């Protein structure tokens, strides 16, 4: 598989963006976690090559929107990855957690029909190769505490605060729909 490696300057740190020839996002990680990203790519794609290239315009627009406060902008980014059926189900479920909200590993496991599977959900969450866009940072411990994040706890805190701050600014755009919001506190779902 031929993949394109690009960089994106985000307020929370420089991002590595990996896309396929169709512009589908295959991996997104922080530049200081390049080795981790390459390990995950090797697990998902036993044979791949990385070539430098530009970030596709649709992904730049979505990331620009997200970091400017349109926290729903990432919902339209096309993503694809390898992984087991279970991992893919966890990663798909992560994209259903609304920005500004958090969910516990146990609640996510229950949503997937496996109420005793919090640990398995945590392992799949930790193997997510597409950070931020597939928002593994929105998953927290059962008692509401922040738990591990591959990009580092400071970045997890920053991302959650950014999303919650955008929720309190009065508007959120998702796709083509703009809605007024009043959520001043993160919602635990």
Per-residue pLDDT of the chain (189 residues; tens, 9 = 90+): 999 999 999 999 999 999 999 999 999 999 999 999 999 999 989 899 999 999 999 999 999 999 999 999 999 899 999 999 999 999 999 999 999 999 999 999 999 999 999 999 999 999 999 999 999 999 998 888 888 787 888 999 999 999 998 765 544 444 434 333 333 334 344
Q: In terms of C-beta density within 10 A (0-12 exposed, 13-18 middle, 19 or more buried), how is residue 19 classed?
A: buried
Indicate if 131 and 62 belong to the same structural domain. no
50, 76, 102 — which closes off a domain? 76
42, 76, 110 — which closes off a domain? 76
34 pairs with which residues across the strands? none
The DSSP 8-state label assigned to residue 32 in this structure reads G
List of residues 6+ apart from 129 with CB closer than 8 A: 26, 27, 28, 29, 37, 40, 41, 44, 81
Active site residue 136: yes
Res 168: pLDDT = 57
Closest CA to 181 of 156, 164, 162: 164
pLDDT in tens, 46-82: 899 999 999 999 999 999 999 999 999 999 899 999 9
Indicate if 70 and 97 belong to the same structural domain. no
3-state secondary structure of 139: strand
Indicate if 7 and 70 belong to the same structural domain. yes
The distance of Cα 181 from the centroid of its chain, to the nearest Å, equals 22
3-state secondary structure of 21: coil
List of residues 6+ apart from 109 with CB closer than 8 A: 115, 116, 117, 118, 120, 121
53, 76, 99 — which closes off a domain? 76
Indicate if 40 and 67 belong to the same structural domain. yes
CATH of the domain at 65: 3.30.160
19 pairs with which residues across the strands? 4, 25
pTM of the model: 0.85
Indicate if 97 and 138 belong to the same structural domain. yes
Res 35: pLDDT = 94
Contact 96, 120 (CB under 8 A): no
Could you give the number of structural domains in the chain? 2
Indicate if 72 and 142 belong to the same structural domain. no
Indicate if 72 and 128 belong to the same structural domain. no
Q: Which of 109, 136, 140, 166 is catalytic?
A: 136
Indicate if 113 and 20 belong to the same structural domain. no
List of residues 6+ apart from 120 with CB closer than 8 A: 86, 109, 114
The distance of Cα 35 from the centroid of its chain, to the nearest Å, equals 18
Res 187: pLDDT = 39
Identify the domain containing residue 157 by its residue range: 85-188
Distance CA 121, CA 127 (A): 10
Res 178: pLDDT = 37
């Amino acid at each position: 598989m031929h993949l394109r490696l690009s960089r994106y300057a985000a307020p929370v740190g420089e991002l590595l963006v990996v896309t396929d020839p169709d512009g589908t996002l295959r991996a997104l990680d922080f530049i200081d976690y390049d080795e981790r990203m390459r390990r995950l790519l090797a697990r998902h794609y036993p044979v791949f090559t990385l070539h430098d290239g530009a970030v596709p315009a649709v992904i730049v627009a979505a990331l620009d929107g997200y970091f400017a406060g349109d926290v729903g902008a990432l919902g339209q980014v096309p993503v694809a990855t390898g992984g087991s059926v279970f991992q893919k189900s966890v990663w798909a479920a992560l994209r259903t957690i609304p920005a500004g909200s958090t969910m516990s590993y146990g609640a996510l496991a229950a949503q997937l029909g496996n109420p005793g599977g919090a640990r398995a959900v945590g392992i799949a969450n930790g193997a997510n190769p597409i950070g931020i866009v597939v928002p593994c940072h929105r998953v927290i411990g059962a008692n509401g505490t922040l738990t591990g994040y591959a990009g580092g706890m400071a970045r997890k805190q920053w991302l959650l605060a950014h999303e919650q701050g955008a929720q309190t600014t009065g508007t959120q755009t998702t796709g083509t729909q703009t809605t007024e919001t009043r959520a001043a506190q993160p919602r635990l779902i």
